């Protein structure tokens, strides 16, 4: 039975890397009103009011809360939009980004 062994004996290394994801993290502060934080989460991160309230209260109680994960540029853009929205009203509201493992 010649030449029946046509399958490769080794598995090709995948050519694509998994895209790295970046977390957007909401930091608590003592000054930004709760309803303002909730409104920013709804507008910038497209959350429902219930989702936004949950994230806001988790940051309020624990000091910080992961809002969502995105590719690097989208995470950085949304973090900046949220932080700038607070700054425009004189609030210290801060969103940071952190690379996922
Ligand atoms: N800690 C703020 C307050 O009591 C609310 C807040 C929550 C601010 C989450 C920033 C992030 N007004």
Mean pLDDT, residues 66-75: 98
CATH architecture assignment, domain 31-99: 2-Layer Sandwich (3.30)
Q: Which residues contact 77 (CB under 8 A, 6 or more apart)?
A: none
CA 100 remoteness from chain centre: 10
Q: State whether the beta carbon of 23 lies less than 6 angstroms from ligand 1.
A: no
Query: Please, where are the H alpha helices in 1-101?
Result: 34-45, 49-62, 72-87
The pLDDT score that the predictor gives to residue 6 is 60
Q: State whether the beta carbon of 92 lies less than 6 angstroms from ligand 1.
A: no
The tens digit of pLDDT for each residue in 4-55 reads 566 666 767 777 888 899 999 999 999 999 999 999 999 999 999 999 999 9
Residue 1 confidence (pLDDT) above 70: no
From ligand 1's centre to the CA of 12, what distance in Å?
A: 51
Q: For this complex, say whether ipTM is above 0.95.
A: yes
Q: State whether the beta carbon of 63 lies less than 6 angstroms from ligand 1.
A: no
């Amino acid at each position: 039975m010649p030449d029946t062994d046509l399958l490769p004996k080794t598995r090709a290394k995948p050519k694509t890397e998994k895209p790295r994801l970046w977390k957007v993290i909401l930091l608590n502060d003592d000054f930004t009103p709760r309803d303002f934080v909730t409104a920013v989460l709804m507008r910038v991160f497209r959350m429902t009011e219930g989702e936004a309230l949950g994230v806001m209260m988790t940051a309020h109680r624990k000091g910080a809360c992961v809002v969502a994960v995105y590719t690097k540029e989208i995470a950085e853009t949304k973090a900046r939009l949220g932080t700038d929205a607070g700054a425009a009203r004189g609030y210290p509201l801060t969103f940071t980004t952190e690379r996922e493992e």
